[in-house]
Amino acid sequence: MFEGSMVALVTPFKNGELDEKKIVELVDWHVSEGTQGIVPCGTTGESPTLSYKEHGRVIEIVVKAARKRIPVLAGTGSNSTTEAIELTHHAKEVGADAALMICPYYNKPTQKGLIEHYRAVAREAPLPIILYNIPGRTGVNMLPQTVVELARSEPKVVGIKEASGSMDQATEILAALPSFIVLSGDDSLTLPLMAIGAKGVVSVVANILPKDTAALVAAAKSGDWDRAREIHFKMFPLIKALFLETNPIPIKTAMGWLERCSPEVRLPLSSMDALNVKKLEAALRAYGGLLSPARERAVC
């Protein structure tokens, strides 16, 4: 159920407020484009700047819009274990299918602390849990042995979004847990991770290329490695451009140009540097057919 091409959904804003209409439009679009799962309120969804009320509201809107057509993995992590449990309970109440749970950030727990944190959530919260390891954001790296211990001792811990950038870590996890759900957390590593047994990706680039991302994952799953490589090599320059600045600044900028939603981000995130804007435009143009006619005219 929790595999394939899943989108790390942006949170659209309009004049500083949630753009609820756009959230619904994006979910419907992703379903029609072949996305196989929606992940609201993650890093790409600017969860750190959402109020507690907004966080719950975004998950509720996404669940209602998805209408069980594809699963919703709600971002419910926190650096407070109690808050993570509360957010996960709410996600269950509104109908989410699983919880994507980031490692506690800023307070930098030890590996023992990570185990105790996730164990407490797993035993209190009513949803399957997908761990989320992204040390570049949290300041702590969840080691493979920690993942293995949690997977073997807590039945609700069913997978991990692995965004450490380390093929070695993913290899160690999959060698010890062949049936465990490993999802790529880095678009540029989706293909190599699937080659060693990952089940899919929680993708940033899928916000603008849902069909192509789904096609890459489907090709890899079916063993059509030539086709998977073809898509990977085509997407790679654009993926790199989408991380010229802190995610989700570039992806939201691109979505604004593509008229998918406003490019608005919340402080302390800010608009893109002018030089990086040119680089992103070039990458979108090189990919082919992505810039809207209005943006093409503005650039020319």
Give the per-residue pLDDT at 251: 98
Mean pLDDT of 96-118: 97
Mean pLDDT of 258-263: 96
Q: pLDDT band for 188, please (50, 70, 90 cuts).
A: very high
Is position 187 within any domain?
yes
List the domain range (segments joined by +) for residue 194: 4-222
CB 249 within 8 A of CB 265: yes
Give the per-residue pLDDT at 297: 47
Is position 208 within any domain?
yes
Give the per-residue pLDDT at 292: 57
Told to judge if 132 belongs to the known catalytic residues of this protein, a careful annotator would answer yes
197 Cβ contact list (under 8 Å, min separation 6): 174, 178, 182
Mean pLDDT of 130-142: 96
In the predicted model, what is the mean pLDDT of the chain? 95
The overall pTM is greater than 0.85: yes
* Residues in a beta bridge with 100: 75, 130
Mean pLDDT of 257-276: 96
Mean pLDDT of 228-247: 98
CATH number reported for the structural domain that contains residue 8 in this entry: 3.20.20.70
Nearest partner of 289 among 238, 215, 245, judged by Cα: 238
Told to judge if 278 belongs to the known catalytic residues of this protein, a careful annotator would answer no
Which of 172 and 299 is assigned the larger pLDDT? 172
Is position 73 within any domain?
yes
Give the per-residue pLDDT at 288: 87
Q: Dihedral sign, CA of 28, 38, 241, 198?
A: negative
Is position 261 within any domain?
no
Is position 286 within any domain?
no
Q: pLDDT band for 51, please (50, 70, 90 cuts).
A: very high
Is position 89 within any domain?
yes
Considering 22, 132, 156, 252, which one is annotated as catalytic?
Answer: 132
Q: How far apart are the C-alpha atoms of 132 and 122, rounded to whole Å?
A: 14
Give the per-residue pLDDT at 300: 43
* pLDDT of 294 over the 90 cut: no
Q: Which two tokens stand for residue 52?
A: 């507690």
Give the per-residue pLDDT at 298: 54
Is position 276 within any domain?
no
Q: pLDDT band for 290, please (50, 70, 90 cuts).
A: confident
Q: How far apart are the C-alpha atoms of 191 and 234, rounded to whole Å?
A: 12
How many domains does the chain fold into? 1
Considering 22, 118, 156, 161, which one is annotated as catalytic?
Answer: 161
Phi and psi based region of residue 95 (left: phi greater than 0; alpha: psi -120 to 50; beta: remaining): left
Is position 197 within any domain?
yes
Give the per-residue pLDDT at 293: 57
Q: pLDDT band for 198, please (50, 70, 90 cuts).
A: very high
Q: pLDDT band for 296, please (50, 70, 90 cuts).
A: low
Q: How far apart are the C-alpha atoms of 172 and 19, rounded to whole Å?
A: 41
| Alpha-carbon torsion, ordered 172, 173, 179, 184, to 10 deg | -110
